[in-house]
Amino acid sequence: DIQMTQSPSSVSASVGDGVTITCRASQDIGTRLAWYQQKPGTAPKFLISSASSLQSGVPSRFSGSGSGTDFTLTINSLQPEDFATYYCQQAYSFPLTFGQGTRLEIK
Amino acid sequence: QMQLQESGPGLVKPSETLSLTCSVSGGSIRNTNYYWGWIRQTPGKGLEWIGNMYYTGSTYYNLSLKSRVTMSVDTSKNQFSLMLSSVTAADTAVYYCARVLLGTARYFYYYTDVWGRGTTVTVSS
């Protein structure tokens, strides 16, 4: 199985700040990586595919990058609605696996 | 816009079988661009992929659960289902059904692009 490791597990930031979350795969997955946003009591929301392609309706302050084993999700100019938990997922092979999540909290 | 909705008992007794159904609306489950899958979430283990299936009935299960999992599809009802046998407290979770976007044979990928709202299943006597 491909292990996905996210860091940090939690981060505190203020509205207007920028944050970067990293995700590392245990083997080369090319750019077959997704990012999801989850708010309490709701299902994960699909944000980014292919490591860097924003889904329709996702604000441009979100961006993703990386390939191979190392990936990042960057959120610029944080808005109140961005405080949530973020997960990466490898889309390369079964079993599909997720990172453990990064909780983005308001400072 | 496609929507998925889970249904099934919220409480299951230990050693019994958990059964959930996912109803798909706003599109056909026969769409060749997608798998249909189940994912569960617990505070301790996070998001865990259970398995995917194609509308033809072919299935791909997580090996960690394979001996207990059965997925099936009913194309006439635009639904697919999950059965998990011999449940224990460790199977207590929020269960999501989801649509999995497939790539092509030349560039494959498996993105979980549409999720149901999730249903909480508790295993307890």
User: Which ranges of A1-107 would DSSP assign to H, the alpha helix?
Assistant: none
Q: Does the pLDDT at position B105 exceed 80? A: no
How many C-beta atoms surround the C-beta of residue B49 within 10 A?
25
Contact A41, A96 (CB under 8 A): no
Mean of pLDDT values over B80-95: 98
Query: CA of A49: which chain B residue's CA is closest?
Result: B111
How many C-beta atoms surround the C-beta of residue B102 within 10 A?
17
CA distance A23 to chain B (A): 15
pLDDT at B107 (0 to 100): 84
- Which residue of B36, B47, B97 to mutate against A (max A Cβ within 10 Å)? B47
Q: What is the pLDDT of residues B16-28, one digit of tens each?
A: 999 999 999 999 9
Q: What is the pLDDT of residues A8-54, one digit of tens each?
A: 999 999 999 999 999 999 999 999 999 999 999 999 999 999 999 99
How many C-beta atoms surround the C-beta of residue A4 within 10 A?
24
- Which residue of A33, A48, A96 to mutate against B (max B Cβ within 10 Å)? A96
For Cα atoms B27, B33, B39, give the angle at the middle one, nearest 5 degrees: 80
Q: What are phi and psi of B98, to 5 degrees?
A: -155, 155
Find residue A72's DSSP bridge partners: A22, A65
Q: Does the pLDDT at position B43 exceed 90? A: no
Q: Report CA Rg, chain B.
A: 14
Alpha carbon of residue A64 to chain centroid: 8
Q: Which helix (H) or strand (E) holds A14?
A: none
Q: Do B117 and A42 touch (CB under 8 A)?
A: yes
Q: Do B62 and A95 touch (CB under 8 A)?
A: yes
The structure tokens listed for A27 are 């083997």
Round to whole Å and give the CA distance between A61 and A54. 10
pLDDT at B104 (0 to 100): 82
Average model confidence (pLDDT) for chain A?
A: 97
The structure tokens listed for A35 are 């990012």
Neighboring chain A residues of B110 at a CB cutoff of 8 Å: 32, 91-92, 94, 96
Closest among B102, B90, B8, B12 to B44, alpha carbons compared: B90
